[in-house]
Amino acid sequence: MLKRNFRKSLTFLSVYYAYMLEYRSELLLWVLANSLPIILMGVWIQAAQGGQFSLNPVDFARYFITVFLVRQITIVWVVWEFEREVVEGKLSPRLLQPIDPVWHHVASHLSERSARLPFSVLLLIVFFIIYPQAFWIPSLTNLLLFLISVLLAFALRFITQYTFAMFAFWTERASSIENFWSLFYLFLSGMIAPLEVFPEPVRAIVLCTPFPYMINFPVSLLIGLPTDVGRGFWLMIGWILFFLGLNRMLWRRGLKRYSGMGA
């Protein structure tokens, strides 16, 4: 049973990887389209040279280049795909398959990561050639914690957006919910600014939300910023379980409403 499931997983991944390679030229544009952290890095480096921050210019450089890396790993688009499948009736044939449709999206995202990786690594190399002062080698412990946290961050980002996608059973614009959510994600995840520059009362409140654990927490682990590791991992797991439970509830109720629109 385990061996058969392993073969099915490899088949799924290989098929979607081949599909993603057809768009390898577009992948470079997708990587560059997510270069906002690199732009913000220049802004914060300039601000650090004349302001009073707990981070120096090199810290800001390391922070935002790591934000760029985390973004490449955790970017998700499942809500738009699922919304289109429901509206156009393309979900119907997948419901006839002996596998939950979500695994098509999981395989698609994981395969896209593999196809995107060479472009991301190339940009990292170019960055460190241009700005060698920011180069560092993280400790083995920090690296392992980062790898675990970034995988959980991807899971949290994916299950959160897939939960919003469930509203496609009730509305044709489920992606609007994600767009609204993205406003909070943009400012509270640590993508625009490190949480270290937030006022302490605001930072304490933000750390109770799921947003910092999608970017700021993994980044802090890799570059060695002070962070409560245990609390961070427990909150990540807690939010994943919360959205997973909500997702399954909406999925069961949504299927009762699904009428194969456009089929």
pLDDT digits (tens, 9 = 90+) for 24-71: 556 656 666 677 777 788 788 887 777 677 788 888 899 999 999 999
Q: Tell me the C-alpha distance between 232 and 116, whole Å.
A: 28
Name the residue with tokens 């406003």. Answer: 183
pLDDT score recorded for residue 7: 66
The answer to whether the CB of 162 falls within 8 A of the CB of 154 is no
Residues sharing a CB contact under 8 Å with residue 237, sequence separation 6 or more, in sequence order? 152
pLDDT digits (tens, 9 = 90+) for 78-124: 999 999 999 888 888 888 888 888 888 888 888 878 777 777 888 88
pLDDT score recorded for residue 163: 97
pLDDT score recorded for residue 262: 44
Q: Tell me the C-alpha distance between 173 and 176, whole Å.
A: 6
CA-based max dimension of the chain: 62
pLDDT digits (tens, 9 = 90+) for 138-168: 999 999 999 999 999 999 999 999 999 999 9
Please state the pTM of the whole predicted model: 0.88
Q: Where are the beta strands (DSSP E) in 182-249?
A: none
The answer to whether the CB of 229 falls within 8 A of the CB of 221 is yes
Q: Tell me the C-alpha distance between 61 and 153, whole Å.
A: 21
The answer to whether the CB of 37 falls within 8 A of the CB of 120 is no
Domain limits, the chain? 13-257
The size of the chain, in residues, is 263
